[in-house]
Chain A
Amino acid sequence: QKEVEQDPGPLSVPEGAIVSLNCTYSNSAFQYFMWYRQYSRKGPELLMYTYSSGNKEDGRFTAQVDKSSKYISLFIRDSQPSDSATYLCAMSALYSGSRLTFGEGTQLTVNP
């Protein structure tokens, strides 16, 4: 079983839709949670970084962490065609230093 599970999609939505992306994990030691965006042929770019449980909002993006359910989410409001990319969740435990465990990534297309 993978430590981090993420539906690879692909996910296709119309412009302006609310997008929900999710990951589940099995390692209860994970305390740091991140969402990265990766455009084709580019490196991952950090979107959101949260520690432990709770919500964090940044512009059109909201990250949620539910440690009791081992479930994290990224919501994108008013989605734009420029949001079309692969979204990767990543996690880290205190004992693992800064080593990240990534999900497989969800490919998102926002259609104009």
Chain B
Amino acid sequence: NAGVMQNPRHLVRRRGQEARLRCSPMKGHSHVYWYRQLPEEGLKFMVYLQKENIIDESGMPKERFSAEFPKEGPSILRIQQVVRGDSAAYFCASSPMGEPGGYTFGSGTRLTVV
């Protein structure tokens, strides 16, 4: 039973480019969460999605960031026109029921903006 799969593991983008981060939840999990971990900081909630629905996006920056979890395929976190401050580790987690203690995290995508 594969865990939460994130790809790519490392992503380098130049300022102004777009970054697409993918997350495939564990089998049987229909709830997906994205968190961002800046250097020397804890994880910060970004967005919570179920299939085809955004449930809570209270942690998403108002501009340039978007997320989706389509009926088929992985969840995508998209960052348009990246800036140096977007450099961070982005973690995806999934759970079967949406309860706080049921998360399984992926290994993250480390985004570097140069």
Contacts and interface: CB of A to CB of B under 8 A. Distances in A.
Nearest to A42: B107
B29 to A, nearest CB: 12
B43 A44 contact: yes
Interface residues of B, number: 29
Nearest to B101: A49
A42 to B, nearest CB: 6
A93 B45 CA distance: 14
Contact of B107 (A43, A49, A101, A102): A43
Contact of B44 (A45, A98, A102): A102
B112 interface: no
Given A43-B107, A98-B95, A32 B100 contact: yes
B91 A100 contact: no
A98 B105 contact: no
Contact of A98 (B31, B42, B43): B31
A32 B98 CA distance: 13
Question: Among the interface residues A34, A43, A96, which one has the most CB atoms of the partner chain B within 10 A?
Answer: A43
Q: How many A residues are at the interface, by size bracket?
A: 20 to 34
Contact of A99 (B42, B48, B105): B48
Interface of B: 4, 31, 33, 35, 40-45, 48, 55-56, 58-59, 91, 93, 95, 98-108
21 contacts: A4-B42, A34-B100, A42-B108, A43-B91, A43-B108, A44-B105, A49-B101, A88-B43, A92-B100, A96-B56, A97-B48, A97-B55, A98-B33, A98-B98, A98-B99, A100-B43, A100-B45, A101-B45, A103-B42, A104-B41, A105-B42
